[in-house]
Amino acid sequence: MEPLTFGVEEEFFLVDRFGRCVTAAPEVLRTVAPAEVEFSAEVSEFQVESVSPICRTAGELIGKLESGRRALAVAADRHGHRLVACGAPIHELDRPFPVTETSRYLRIAEEMGAMLESLLTSGCHVHIGMPDLEHAVAVSNQLRAFLPGLLALSANSPFHRGVDSGHASWRSTMWWQVPSAGPPPVFESVSHYQDGVREVLRSGAALDRGMIYWLMRPSSHLPTLEIRIGDVLPTAEEALLFALIIRGLAATALIRVDAGLPPPAVAEPTLRLALWRAARDGADGMVIDPMTGELLPGRVLIDRMIAWARPGLAAMGDEAVVTALLAASRRAESPVARQRAAFARRNSIQDVVELLARRTRGVPSPAP
C-alpha cells in the first residue's frame, strides 16, 4: 500500500498573560511571518488556525506543525499576547464573542444566536487522503468505533472559564450542543451519504456542507476523510502521535474495505455513552469500549485501538515512531493531569496558562 497522504489543522486561542481571551486574530494574522503552513481566521477573533500542507511522512508533518506553532507564537508575543493550545477558553470571558467579519461567519452568528459560544473551542482536525468518496464513506463506517479512544487520547480541556469542569474534554461537551455535531451515521453507499447531507442542510441545522459538524466526515473541499474528534494537543509531538494513529486506523480500514470485511459492530446508544465517558474521564479514568460495553481504563481502550491499527501502521511504516511517541507520552502525565497539577501548586489559572504557552511553542517546562 502506498503511504496515505495526511495533513493537520490546529486551532489555537490567543490570550493575555492571565489567560483571558483577546481579540487579536486580525493583528496576529497580519504580522505572522511566512512559514511552511497556511494560517487562517476562525469564527471568533480570539482564535487562529494553522493548516499543514499535504504530507507523506512523520518527519514532514512534525516539521510543519513546529513551524506553524513557532510562527504564530512569535507573532502573538510581538503584540503582548500568548498562543495556547487548549480545547476551551481557560479564563472567564470579559467581552462579547468577537465574530470574525466575513459574510459566512456573520451569517453563522446570526443563525446560531446564544448557541454560538458552543463554537468557541479549539480542535485538531486530521485529514487523510482517500482514493474516492466511496472509500471515504466506507472508511468512516469502519472508524466510528474508535472515536471514543481518539477522544480519550486527545482530551486537553479540563478548565473552562476559570474553573475545573470535571471533564477531561470540556470542548466536546460544548461542541455537542450544536445540532449537526456528533458521530456520523453509518452510510450504506455514497448516495445514502449524499442523502444524509441533504437532510441536514434541508433541516437548517447547517447552513452549508462545512457546517455539518460530524466528528468524522468526507471533506467538503478536499479529497480526504476529515477526523474532527480531537481537542488541539498541547505539543507538536502529541499532535503528530494523534495524526499517525489516525492514519494507521484509516489504512487498516482501507485494507478491510478492500477485503470486503464489515465495520466493527457498534450500537448507537453505546457509542454515544462511550463518547460522553471519554470526554469526562479521558485517558486517566475509566471509559467504555463501544464494541463490548465494557468499562475499562482509558489507556487500555487506547491500546486496543492501536492494536486494531497495527496492520495500517505497518503499511505506512509508522509502527516504530508511534511506539516511541506513545512510550514517551506514557512516561509523562497526560495533558489533563499536567494542567490540573499546574493549577494545584498555587490554585492559579495563570500557572496553567504559563504551562500551555510553553508547551504550545515547544519550550520544556521547568521542574516543579
The CA distances from residue 7 to 16, 136, 180, in Å, are: 29, 15, 24
Query: C-alpha cell of 110?
Result: 446570526
Query: Which CATH architecture fits 6-361?
Result: 2-Layer Sandwich (3.30)
Strands 286-288, 295-297: parallel, antiparallel or unpaired by DSSP? antiparallel
The pLDDT of residue 368: 44
Residue spans per domain, the chain = 6-361
- φ, ψ of residue 9 in degrees (nearest 5): -105, 130
The low-confidence residues of the chain, meaning pLDDT below 70, are 363-368
Per-residue confidence (pLDDT) for residue 150, from 0 to 100: 99
Rounded to whole angstroms, the Cα distance separating 163 from 349 reads 8
Cα–Cα distance, 148 to 79 (Å, whole number): 38
Enter the pTM of the model: 0.97
- Ramachandran bin of 243, using left for φ above 0, alpha for ψ from -120 to 50, beta for the remaining angles: alpha
CA distance 96 to 94: 7
CA–CA dist 271, 200 (Å, integer): 21
Burial annotation 161-198 (CB, 10 A radius, 16+ → b, else e): eeebbebbbbbbbbbbebbbbbbbeebeebeebeebbe
Question: Which single residue is written with the C-alpha cell 503584540?
Answer: 79
The chain-wide mean pLDDT, for the chain, equals: 95
Return the pLDDT at 220. 78
Can you give the pLDDT at residue 364?
A: 59
pLDDT number for residue 96: 86
Give the angle 250-254-257 at the CA atoms, nearest 5°: 135
